[in-house]
Structure 1
Amino acid sequence: MLDTLLRALSLVAIIGIGQLAKRAGWVSTSDFSKFSKIVLGVTLPCALFTSFNTFHVEFALLGLAVFGLLVNVALQVIGYLQTRRRSRQDQAFAVFNSGSYNIGAFSTPYLSGLVGPHAMVFSSLFDIGTAVASAGIAYGWGMSLVHPSGRLRLSALLRKVGTNPVFVTYVTLLVMQLLNLRLPDQLIVFTSTVGAANPFLAMLMIGIGLDLRLSRAKYLDAARLLARRYVFGLVVGVASWYLLPLPTDARVVVVMLLFAPIAAMMPAFCAEAELDVELASFANSVSVLVAIVAMPTLYLLLS
């Protein structure tokens, strides 16, 4: 228990370093996107290749990708239904921010530092479904709600998913697993060295991006959005723990992931759709703080 708490506090301390660096003027919130490109395009793929290289994915575990997709879409539908009598902009905002999880840039490195490298495999499989649901379904659905014609081209959706470096990495790793291919040891030396920096850079990035400022009039909207996510996470988490036909360590990770933060891409989607970016950024930041506490707590309770 003490070891888990120390690892969690170490990761939180790195987030604190990111906040302090921003307050000292070394970096700014605008630098978040630069760190994000390094983490999602370099260090995370290297860490994933290293972890998958020594792990054999059982066929049953592939169901985690489908489960991740269903969980995200279910939350998107709930968000849409709860705002169906409001404006199309409110509906789009609910679709974007209800059903998405920050797995690659937060949960995977956080779980890696907290639980161990094997947790990366489970979270990565879950994130395959999340990537399709967030970068594909949520983007297409949300944009169609605010688009004048009510439609969005399929090519735009495929481009969003197909150019996501983490999703491309996942697909490559799955194909390698199915073909029983492994990277040579010489290359793993490189990926393990670069991948070792992933937890630090990812947590530092989160600290730089945290923004807890919000107009007082919008706190109720933020509370509704976050309550929707966590009530859903609690209900599905209990059902997953007792009903999913997976190993115990995989079920522990799944329950923890249900309390992961809102995907980091959602404020950008809201900006593109000319929605409330301030509210999206605030909800995103609060969800990070909740995840910092909830995920290690769940790990201690369930493991």
Structure 2
Amino acid sequence: MLFQAGALLLAILGTYALKHLHVFGERDYRVAQGLVFNLTLPCAIMLSFATNRHDMRMLWIVLFGFFACAVPLFVVFVGSRGDERNYRAFQMLNASGLNLGAFCLPVVQTFMGASAGLPIIMLDIGNATVATAGSLTITRTLLHMDGSFRSLPLRLRLRNIARDFLGSISFDMYMLMLILMFAHVTIPQPIITLITPFANANAFCAMAMIGLMMEVPDSRKDRMELVRVIVWRAVFGVLIAIAAWFLLPFDMRIREIIVLGAFAPITIFSTKFTDSLTGNAKLAGFSLTVTAVLSLVVMTALHAALPGV
């Protein structure tokens, strides 16, 4: 298990080193983003649905994921009062939401096998309803950072929000698999064979993307804000993990998977939204990398300690 975690960490640090050796450029992380969000992650989602039994009780995990993402957003809004508006936006966007599909899914599947992916995907369906677009809308509305968006007619605002959701291939794949689950439709074996190599590449591509995004911010204020976000996420992670372990009606294996998911790092969408609202791309990328490394350490320790099998 330590070698598995070390291999994932090596993928992050190795691509970061190659960037500083000028093998990759500063913006090359966008290539990795394109691969993960438009190819490897959708294939990993489909493969997990195709190769695991679908228990309708898993819908409780979807609901749990929604509240696990939405509640921290409003708690941080209240708790960050008194800080500068841009940094409040940074805290709200980065202290809430779980990086499940692009980070936790490959990590958990590395630790516990392909069958461990389905609970993470169900958790991410609920999480993604807020993290993929809702958190941006809520943050800029509560902090009065709407700009031109606020002046648009309601119809256009709703259309823009819908485009944010439906423009994500990963989110679309989640919804499609959920529909197939309700309809009891089985994915044909030739399709499973076709997507398997891409799904298997998701772990490396996701870690490489994080390594390519990493860059240390210069400002002391930026670093202090990151510390605040880490503290927020640690508190929320503990609370979400306790709730998952004691409240969810599943066996220990599934509850362990959800507990691991509670300590997932900052989402890719949060880094994108932070950049668009505050213009601080360096802080956004570094925050994702730091929380990804911390999450990998915590998830490895929890997997060794918890009694799930």
Q: Is TM > 0.5 for Structure 1 vs Structure 2? A: yes
Q: Which amino acid aligns with 1:229?
A: R
Once superposed, which parts of structure 1, at least 4 consecutive aligned residues long, lie more than 6 Å away?
none
Report the counterpart of residue 205 of structure 1 in structure 2.
209
Q: What amino acid maps onto 1:196 in structure 2?
A: N
Structure 2 contact 213–286 (Cα < 8 Å) conserved: no
Where does structure 2 lack aligned partners over 5 or more consecutive residues?
none
Matches within 5 A, 1:1-303: 4-144=1-141, 145-148=144-147, 151=150, 153-302=157-306, 303=308
Distance 2:99 2:14 in 1: 20
Aligned-pair distance for 1:242? 1.9
Q: Distance in 2 between matches of 1:101 and 1:187?
A: 29
Distance 2:139 2:250 in 1: 33
Q: In the superposition, relative to structure 1, how do residues 293 and 214 fare at CA in structure 2: closer, same or farther (>3 Å)?
A: farther
Output the TM-score relative to the length of structure 2: 0.91
**Distance change >3 Å, CA 274–CA 232, structure 1 → 2:** closer
**TM-score when scaled to structure 1?**
0.92
In structure 1, C-alpha distance between the alignment counterparts of 2:36 and 2:304, rounded to whole Å: 27
Deviations 1:61-90 (A, max 9, x none): 111111111011111011101123444434
Contact 2:64 2:126 in 1 (8 A): yes
Distance 1:25 1:89 in 2: 32
Q: Structure 1: state its 5+ residue gaps.
A: none
Pair 1:192–1:268, CA change in 2 (3 A): same
Work out the CA distance in 2 between the residues paired with 1:44 and 1:278: 24
Identity of aligned residues (%): 27
Q: How far apart, CA to CA, are the structure 2 residues paired with 1:285 and 1:39?
A: 16
SS across alignment from 2:278 = coil
Greater CA drift, 245-254 or 269-278: 269-278
Give the Cα separation in 1 of the matches to 2:86 and 2:21: 37
Task: Provide the C-alpha distance between the structure 1 equivalents of 2:211 and 2:128, rounded to a whole number of angstroms.
Answer: 23
